[in-house]
Structure 1
């Protein structure tokens, strides 16, 4: 089978031919991959800016959907032909965090054992996953849409953290890559209309118009000009999807009293921001981090059913599909911001 492997020590990414993996444990499921996304985290991994498996070469890809082709002897709820999406994250089920319902903080599992980051993932024709990380996709969801389950599950977790978010609040989204676009979809679905999106890439702003939400679309320069011309230009909620430290720093200065800042985008581990603690104190500001997706895959699948083609149409979202052999082109277009997301189609 074709697969894209990554070696962290040399930062080498290459298309290879590998044997089709086999089910070797009773709780495993073998999946024929249909769609596998390239995440911003993958770009950070390739550039050496995000932790991953440094001990051995592995197959990337932690966002994917497909069809079950084989199951282990203990697997009862899945059968060959079932359409599924895979949650790449799991805990050890033994530590204090796992027992407290916080497996994303697990020092053994969590983000330190992710499929496609530490274990072989979905940038391949086939992938093996344990049953606890496999979710059946309903007949109302296409495998194309199901490829977005993982990013939407992170979004669902983030929405739980920042809730309540009252309709009518003034909201700003910074960064209009695919995650920013999915937040746009979610907020519009929930009935929010007083939403502004700030993005420096004109192509991405143009793509957002295809979603037909009526949200205000501006550049960071326009955002700063609005702030300078109106001292009351503030937001009740700011969701940073850029992971860009200057944007996060600026966001704190335009939060309304009692406002919330959600740091959703992944910044490089070495990045730093400066904020004034007095402003946090005086204005009772709330800053939230969001780490992956504990127990939010079912919520994500519910979101996908509710969004449907109205929001999750690839063309409207600026998503382009590629065969594996075009991985270099896919990554390059994604870096340039010419497209919002690249997804491998098998």
Structure 2
């Protein structure tokens, strides 16, 4: 395996399922390479270690590709977009593995591409954005509006996944009771998006005190509970929540929340849990309440629609300090991973020159 390519299984071992798939946004489009070599964060699949290396700059090898220079890289479309050298752009890292020729891809479901078992993305199956320059397919590039703050640009990919999941829920009553499990950046983005559209009965459950404090500072949640407080508050009750959103991937949390769901409610499985994680459901409860279980995998054709949404939400919801997002230079990548593992931050961002 080429050292600089991310293998999903190796990546999972490296970050113990806690760090997010490498996402890269906030690029500057480049017309051509100016240096023969560049700095890059390289993953060695044999030693399972990362290191900063001087590597050869990537070359554009196809008329469908473009060369971009990443500026903000988060740790964790078919349209041809008109962009020019020097434009500030975002890159959707999720794409079709087969070139959009298989059955699902031809139906705009490239997240179900038959060539790959679980998605296909830059930073996992191909070189990612922890480098000064990277070549990507032009169809994955989206121009940013001038008013979009650079420090908010990396949130476009995260919110595009949440926005895709929100679309799966369809129309929700404004007074719907919604429970979010987990106050990492994904859980927080779910809360911000739902609050932005007018939902006010939002409850979030999170064991980490640091993350609960972050959730409270956002001022979008009606209540912020520990799992124990959640269980005590609704002990003996049922038919409480219209929607439960799993943003933590913890089986026991999901199992306990199902008993609180209202008839006709929807359980959204959004978090990327380990394949060994199983959940036990009471089949009669699912049958009698007509509960729905909705999985959400990546963000097919959602990125472009989400860029203006981030622009509309950035002043009220996208303050990176309140979101507990911290920035690190490329040389401090180990600090970024350590902070994520400890839960000291909601998300880390690698900032390149």
So what's the TM-score if we normalise by structure 2?
Answer: 0.84
Distance 1:111 1:125, change over 3 A: farther
Q: Match for residue 286 of structure 2?
A: 280
Structure 2 residue matching 1:317: 3-state secondary structure: coil
Q: CA deviation at 1:112?
A: 4.2
Q: Which residue of 1 aligns with 2:333?
A: 327
Query: Is 2:200 the partner of 1:163?
Result: no
Q: Which residue number corresponds to residue 4 of structure 2?
A: none
Deviations 1:147-183 (A, max 9, x none): 1111111111100111222210111011000001111
How many angstroms does 1:111 deviate by? Answer: 4.7
Is 2:187 the counterpart of 1:180? Answer: yes
Moved more, 21-30 or 200-209: 21-30
- The answer to whether the 8 Å contact 2:122/2:128 transfers is yes
Q: CA-to-partner distance for each residue in 1:92-115, whole Å, 9 max, x for gaps? A: 211111112211101226854311
**What pairs up with 1:295-314 in 2 under 5 angstroms?**
295-314=301-320
Equivalent-residue separation in structure 2 for 1:319 and 1:269 (angstroms): 28
Question: Where does residue 263 of structure 2 map in the other structure?
Answer: 257
Secondary structure of the residue that 1:280 maps to in structure 2?
Answer: helix
Q: In the alignment, what sits opposite 2:83?
A: 78
Name the structure 1 match of 2:222: 215
Q: CA distance change for structure 1 residues 76 and 97 in 2, over 3 Å: closer, same or farther?
A: closer
1:113 maps to which residue?
A: 120
- What is the 5 A alignment of 1:13-32? 13-32=50-69
1-structure distance, mates of 2:119, 2:319: 32
Q: d(CA) in 2 for partners of 1:232 and 1:79? A: 56
Q: Distance in 1 between matches of 2:204 and 2:187?
A: 8
Q: Equivalents in 2 of 1:76, 1:306: separation in Å?
A: 21
In 1, the alpha carbon distance for the partners of 2:134 and 2:149 equals 19
Point out the more displaced range, 142-151 or 79-88: 142-151
- Cα distance in 1 for partners of 2:179, 2:81 equals 45
Contact 2:187 2:247 in 1 (8 A): yes
Q: Is the 8 A contact 1:171 1:238 kept in 2?
A: yes
Instruction: Tell me if structure 2 keeps the 8 A contact 1:90–1:110.
Output: no
> What CA distance in whole angstroms lies between the structure 2 residues aligned with 1:180 and 1:284?
25
Give the whole-Å Cα distance in 1 for the aligned partners of 2:177 and 2:347. Answer: 27
Give the secondary structure class of the aligned counterpart of 2:322.
helix
Structure 2: which 5+ residue stretches go unaligned?
1-37
Give the alignment partner of residue 110 of structure 2, picking from 81, 103, 106: 103
Determine whether 1:87 maps to 2:92: yes
In 2, distance between residues paired with 1:144 and 1:109? 32
For the residues of structure 2 that align with 1:142 and 1:108, how far apart are their CA atoms?
36
Aligned-residue offset at 1:310: 1.5
Q: 2:146 matched to 1:139?
A: yes
Q: Return the alpha-carbon distance in structure 2 between the equivalents of residues 105 and 293 of structure 1.
A: 11
CA distance in 1, matches of 2:273, 2:233: 26
Q: In the superposition, relative to structure 1, how do residues 187 and 246 fare at CA in structure 2: closer, same or farther (>3 Å)?
A: same
2:277 is aligned with 1:271: yes
Q: What count of residue pairs does the alignment treat as equivalent?
A: 310
Once the two structures are superposed, residues 249-281 of structure 1 have per-residue CA deviations (whole angstroms, 9 ceiling, x without a partner) of 112121111111101111011111111111100
* Offset at residue 77 of structure 1 (A): 2.1
The counterpart of 2:70, out of the listed 33, 36, 41, is 33
Which stretch shifts more, 213-222 or 314-323? Answer: 213-222
For residues 192 and 89 of structure 1, the distance between their equivalents in structure 2, rounded to whole angstroms, comes to: 29
Q: Please tell me the root mean square deviation across aligned C-alpha atoms, in Å.
A: 1.6
